Structure 1
Amino acid sequence: MTFFLLIISSLYAVFTLVLWLTWLRMPSIGTESRLDDCPFITVIIPVRNEASNIANLLQDLNSQTYRHFEVIVADDSSTDDTLAIVQRYVNQTPYALRPLPLPNERTTSPKKRAITQSIALATSELIITTDGDCRVGPNWLAAFATTYAKTGAKMITGPVTFTTERSVFDSLQTVEFASLIGAGACTLALGFPTMCNGANLCYVKEVFGEVNGFAGVDHLASGDDEFLMHKIASRYPQGVRFLKSADAIVRTGPHRSWGAFYNQRKRWASKWRAYSSPLPSLLAVFIFMSNAAPVLAVIGYCLDFLNGNVALSVIGLKVLPEFLFLRQVLVFLQKKMSVAAIPLTQLIYPLYVLFFGLAAQGKGYSWKGRKLN
């Protein structure tokens, strides 16, 4: 057992240090609001019951320095005033705003349906998706347009973080989210895409059609982002990029209730078995084992069948490289205050990973007031 724990922890330390060095070497792309070749962009916002948030996002889009875009808000049968609010904004926005009411039909993946039907109506070259509870800065679209013009990427993934932290729970979510964004960016840069976030995702409309959209994964409620990224990366191995730019950061609110947090994390964790490529699934198993290692080390020490130096080594191999990596990503995401929450997150996260790794084996969770499988 000692040998196994040290090997797993050592491999994890090397992996995390590689991510850290990759992040440091990843170039930032400057933003230009005026480009010689201006791609037209369709911003797609799938929503359900976002009456308290959608107006803020529509106002943020009013302030974009890049003006060549339209917006489609696909309303998935909201039971609040979301659709009415969007319709009121139609004649108030300087950009073309198109509400798309969707019928209240039973579907295993309402978000994929909303995106697919919106893309069918889009008149643009580029698609950018975000969520109704998100906030964006004035240079958000300019950052994507600049990156597309300079790289010709088929898909561009963007950074996502939280708005404000009001509690320790919020700070823990911020650190965890930073780890996912950072790991997704770095593994993509290393040539094996793993994770991205649909709250900040850009791709070429034509390429969405080339890979048949969400066909093959449309029976899964989650994965409108990662599964699509894997399909595009498979067709265009060098065509997917991460946009490391402060202008491109999208902010959303952390979960304020344990129930919403549980259902989202269970939904995320349930995706690992559906990947067509073995790499993301292997990585998920590796992360699970790496987080189990310090828990087993502590248990082994307490039960007196593991040496104290070995237990400390297993823990140190995990927490020290992690701290270096997470600190760098949080600074980029303009979350320096959350750096202090890294040690607490590291204390809790192994138990968290084990819990959701097991919880994801069961089926069913709630999303926006609906029960999904």
Structure 2
Amino acid sequence: MTIFLLAVAFLYALFTLTLWITWLRLPAIQIDADAHVKPFISVVIPVRNEADNIGKLLQDLCQQSYPHFEVIVADDSSTDATLSIVERMAHRVPYALRPLSLTNERSASPKKRAITQSITLATGELIMTTDGDCRVGPDWLAAFATCYEKTGAKLISGPVTFTTERTVFDSLQTVEFSSLIGTGACTMALGIPTMCNGANLCYVKEVFGEVGGFTGVDHLASGDDEFLMHKIANRYPDSIRFLKSDEAIVQTQPHQSWSAFYNQRKRWASKWRAYDSWLPSLLAVFIFLSNTAPLLAVLGWLLNFLNGNVALVVIGLKLVPEFLFLRQVLVFLQKKSSVGVIPLTQLIYPLYVVFFGLAAQRKGYIWKGRKLN
């Protein structure tokens, strides 16, 4: 047991330090105001019951410094005023805004259906996806257009964080989410992409068609972002990029209830068994074991079958490199105020990972008022 715990802790420390160094070396892309960047972008926003938020996002898009874009809002049978808000704003905004009303048919993956139908209408060279409860800065599209022109990437993943934290629960979500964003960015930089987020994702429309879109994974409710990324990475291994730019940051709202948080994280955790690539599945198992190790170390110490010094080494190998990495990502995401919550997150996170690792084995969760598998 001692050798196993030390081995897992050492490997996790090595893994996290690699992420930290990779993040520090990840180049930032600066917008070149004099560059003639002109790829036309179709912004696709799948929504359901976002009446409280969609107007703010559409207003943000009015402020974009990059003019070559259209917006398609795919409304998935909202029961509130979402669609009527979009239709009213279509006559007021300075860009082409196209409301798309989806039929209320049963689908295993409503979000993939919304994105696919939107792409059939899109006229842009690039597809940019985000969510109805997100907020974007004025240079958001300019940053992605610049990155595309400079790198020729087929898929570009952008940074996502939460809006202002009002509670400890909000801050905990911010820290936890930063670990996902940072890990996804670094694995892309290392040429082994594992995760991305559909709230801030850009890809070439033609490539979406080349890889068959969501065909093969359209029976899964989750994964409109990661499964597509893996399909594109298989065809274009060197064309997946993370956009490390302040201007590219998208903000979304933290969950206000444990129930909403639970259902989202269970939805995310449930997809790992469906990956064709072995790497994301291996990473999921490795993270599970790495977070189980300190729990077992503490338990072993309390039950007197593990030396206290060994338990401290196992815990230290997890906490120190993790803190260095998370702090760096949070500073980039302009969330320096959440750095102080890292230790609390580290205390809770092993329990969280073990809980959702087990919860993911059971099917079924609620998404946008619907029960999905």
| SS of residue matched to 2:71 | strand
TM-superposed deviation, 1:36: 1.8
Q: Superposition pairs for residues 216-235 of structure 1, below 5 Å? A: 216-235=216-235
Residue 61 of structure 2 is matched in structure 1 by: 61
Instruction: Please give the residue correspondences for 1:251-290 in structure 2 after superposition, counting only pairs within 5 Å.
Output: 251-290=251-290
Deviations 1:56-104 (A, max 9, x none): 0000000000000000000000000000000000110000000000000
Query: Which position in structure 1 is the counterpart of 2:144?
Result: 144
Is the Cα–Cα contact under 8 Å of residues 60 and 135 in structure 2 kept in the other structure? yes
Aligned partners of 1:321 and 1:204: how far apart in 2?
Answer: 36
Q: Distance in 2 between matches of 1:64 and 1:101?
A: 25
Q: Deviations over 1:323-371 (max 9, x none)?
A: 0000000000000000000000000000000000000000000001000
| Distance in 1, Cα, partners of 2:166 & 2:150 | 39
Q: Distance in 1 between matches of 2:221 and 2:356?
A: 17
Question: 2:321 maps to what in 1?
Answer: 321
Partner of 2:159: 159
Cα distance, 1:31 vs. partner?
A: 1.3
Show the counterpart of 2:195. Answer: 195
Contact 2:37/2:146 (8 A) holds in 1: no
Q: CA deviation at 1:32?
A: 3.3
Partner of 2:88: 88
Provide the rounded CA distance (Å) in 2 between the counterparts of 1:287 and 1:14.
13
- Would the aligned equivalents of 2:37 and 2:145 in 1 still touch at CA under 8 Å? no
Deviations 1:209-241 (A, max 9, x none): 000000000000000000000000000000110
Q: Do the aligned residues in 1 keep the contact of 2:44 with 2:115 (CA within 8 Å)? A: yes
Q: Using the TM superposition, name which of 33-42 and 269-278 deviates more.
A: 33-42
Map 1:93-242; keep pairs closer than 5 Å: 93-242=93-242
Output the CA distance in 1 between the equivalents of 2:124 and 2:269: 33
| Partner SS for 1:202 | strand
The DSSP-based 3-state class of the residue aligned with 2:199 is coil
Residue 43 (structure 2) pairs with residue 43 (structure 1): yes
Matched, 1:305 2:298: no
For residues 31 and 331 of structure 2, the distance between their equivalents in structure 1, rounded to whole angstroms, comes to 19
Q: Which amino acid is the alignment partner of residue 212 of structure 2?
A: N
Does the 8 Å CA contact 1:57/1:133 hold for their aligned counterparts?
yes
Where 1:371 maps in the other structure, the secondary structure is strand
CA deviations on 1:11-30 (whole Å, 9 max, x unpaired) are 00000000000000000000
4+ runs deviating over 4 angstroms:
none
CA deviation string 1:93-148 (max 9, x = no partner): 00000000000000000000000000000011000000000000000000000000
Distance 1:185 1:154 in 2: 15
Question: Could you report, residue by residue, the CA deviation over 1:249-301 in whole angstroms, capped at 9, with x for unpaired residues?
Answer: 00000000010000000000001100000000000000000000000000000
TM-score by length of 2: 0.99
Matched residue, 1:25: 25
Residue 244 of structure 2 aligns to a residue in which SS? coil
How far is the alpha carbon of 1:35 from its aligned partner? Answer: 3.5
The verdict on how the C-alpha distance between 1:312 and 1:217 changes in structure 2, with shifts beyond 3 A counting, is same
Deviations 1:139-169 (A, max 9, x none): 0000000000111100000000000101110
Query: How far apart are 1:242 and its partner, in Å?
Result: 0.2
Distance 2:99 2:33 in 1: 26
Aligned length: 373
Listed as ranges, the gaps of 5+ residues in structure 2 are none
What does residue 247 of structure 1 align with? 247
Please give the root-mean-square deviation of Cα atoms over the aligned residues, in Å: 0.6
Q: What one-letter code is carried by the residue in structure 2 that aligns with 1:251?
A: Q
Letter aligned with residue 69 of structure 1 = F
TM-score of the two chains, using structure 1 as the length reference: 0.99
Amino acid at match of 1:25: R
Asked if 2 retains the 8 angstrom alpha-carbon contact of 1:33 and 1:66, the reply is: no
Q: Which amino acid aligns with 2:287?
A: I
Which residue pairs with 1:356 in the alignment?
A: 356
CA distance, structure 2, for counterparts of residue 171 and residue 45 of structure 1: 26
Q: Matched residue of 1:71: which SS?
A: strand
State how far apart, in whole Å, the 2-side matches of 1:315 and 1:370 are: 40
Report the residue type matching 2:174 in the other structure. Answer: T
Q: Match for 1:117: what amino acid? A: Q
Partner in structure 1 of residue 70 of structure 2: 70
Distance 2:329 2:191 in 1: 19
Amino acid at match of 1:371: K
Deviation at 1:34, TM superposition (A): 5.5
What amino acid does structure 2 have at the position aligned with 1:240? Answer: I
Q: Secondary structure at the match of 2:64?
A: coil
CA contact (8 A) 1:33 1:139 kept: no
Q: In 2, are the aligned partners of 1:249 and 1:333 still within 8 Å (CA)?
A: yes
Q: Which residue in 2 is equivalent to 1:341?
A: 341
Tell me the distance in 2 between the aligned counterparts of 1:194 and 1:20. Answer: 16
